[in-house]
Amino acid sequence: MNSELYLSDLESKPESLAALAAALEADDPFERLPRHAGRVLFLGMGSSRYAAGVAALRLRAAGVDAYAEYASAAATYPAGEDTLVIPISATGSSRETLDAAARYAGGPARLVTLTNQPGSPLAQAADLVIPMHAGEERGGVACRTFQHTLALLLALESRLTGTDRDVPALLRRAAQATADLLERRDEWLPLALELLDGPHGVYTIAPAERLSSAEQSALMFREGPRRPADACETGDWAHVDVYLTKTLDYRALLYPGSAYDAQAMDWVRQRESTVVTVGAEVKDATAAIRYRHDDDPDVALLTETLVAELVAAYWWQA
C-alpha cells in the first residue's frame, strides 16, 4: 500500500469512468443474461459487499428477489435453475469469495463474476465474467474498483428490471462530478481535514439506499491513515450511534438524502457535535461540500465517497 499512488488512483477516477462508459456503449456485458431471474444472490467481502448491499436493495424495491451475502457465511440460499449467483472480487482472489463461489460451481445456478482480473481464479470458475475496467490500483486500495462495481451493478439492474436507463450517460455525469471535486479540492479539502480531525475518530452516516457510501468511507479512514472510523445508516443512527455524541468529541461525515436527516441533526445540534455534509446543505451542519450534479442520487452514489477518500489520502500522506 502506498499513499502517493493511492492519491494518483483517485485522481484518475474521471478518466477511468469515461473509459467504462465507452466500454458499456461498445458492448453490453450482461447481454447473455436472461431478462429475469428467480433470485439474485450477491457474494462478496469488504467494498464488494458494500456495493452489493445497495444493489440488492434497489433490485428488491423493483420487485426482484435479491440478496447480498457475506461470502464468508457458512450457508446461504440454495441454488436453483433460476438463481443468478454473482460473486464479486476486484482481485478475483479473495479467499472467502472463492470458497463461496466453489459451492455453486457446476450446479444449476448461473455463476456470473464481477472482477477487475479476468484471468483470476474467480473468473475461471464462472459461467460469465464481467470485467470492471478499472485499471490497476497501484496504491493497493480498492477505490476505482468500488466505483466501477457500483456502476456495473446499476447496468445489471437495468437489465433485470427492464429500466430504460442510459448508464453510460450517468457515468459521464459521475465523471464530471468527480472531476469537479478533484479540481476544486483546494476550496473544500483543508476545512474538511480540519473539521474531521478529532481525537475519537470519524463517523460516517448515509441513507439505506446509499449505505455503501458510509461503509466505504469508514473503510478508507481505517485502511489508509489507520484512523478509528465506523459507518451507520441515518435512521438507525438515532438508535445505535446517538449515544456517542454525549461522551465523545463526535466528528461525522453525513451523506444527506434520508427522511431522517433532521432527526439525526437535532441531536447533533443539542450536543454541539461536528458534522460535515456532502452533496447538500443540511440545517445545523458545520460545513457542506457541494459538487456538480449532486442533486442526482445516482450520481451521488457513484461520486460522494471521493470526499472521504481524499481526506484519507491526505491524512495518510501526513
Dist CA 205 CA 152 (whole Å): 24
Cell output for 151: 456502476
Global pTM? 0.96
Q: Are 87 and 44 in contact (CB under 8 A)?
A: yes
Beta bridge partners of 111: 85
d(CA 133, CA 130): 9
Residue 1: per-residue pLDDT: 84
Cα distance between residue 298 and residue 73, in whole Å? 30
Q: Cβ–Cβ contacts within 10 Å for residue 240, how many?
A: 11
> Is pLDDT at 244 greater than 90 in this prediction?
yes
What tens digit of pLDDT does each residue of 11-26 get?
999 999 999 999 999 9
Report the pLDDT value the prediction gives residue 164, as an integer from 0 to 100: 85
Q: What is the pLDDT of residue 13?
A: 98
What does the block give as the cell for 261? 436527516
Instruction: Using the CB atoms, write b or e for 121-156: b if 16+ within 10 Å.
Output: bbbebbbbbbbbbbbebebebbbbbbbbbbbbbbbb
CB-CB contact of 96 with 72 (8 Å): yes
Residue ranges in the chain assigned as alpha helix (H): 3-11, 13-26, 47-61, 95-104, 121-124, 144-161, 167-183, 185-195, 211-223, 234-240, 244-247, 261-271, 297-303, 305-317
DSSP letter for each residue of 111-160: EEEEES-TTSHHHHT-SEEEE------TTSS-SHHHHHHHHHHHHHHHHH
90: burial class by Cβ within 10 Å (0-12, 13-18, 19+)? Answer: buried
41-93 pLDDT, tens digit per residue, is: 999 999 999 999 999 999 999 999 999 999 999 989 888 899 999 999 999 99
Say if strands 110-115 and 274-278 run parallel, antiparallel, or are unpaired. unpaired
Q: Answer whether 305's CB lies under 8 Å from 220's CB.
A: yes
Question: How far is it, in rounded angstroms, from Cα 237 to Cα 243?
Answer: 9
pLDDT digits (tens, 9 = 90+) for 185-232: 999 999 999 999 999 999 999 999 999 999 999 999 999 999 999 999
Rounded Cα–Cα distance for residues 66 and 76 (Å): 12
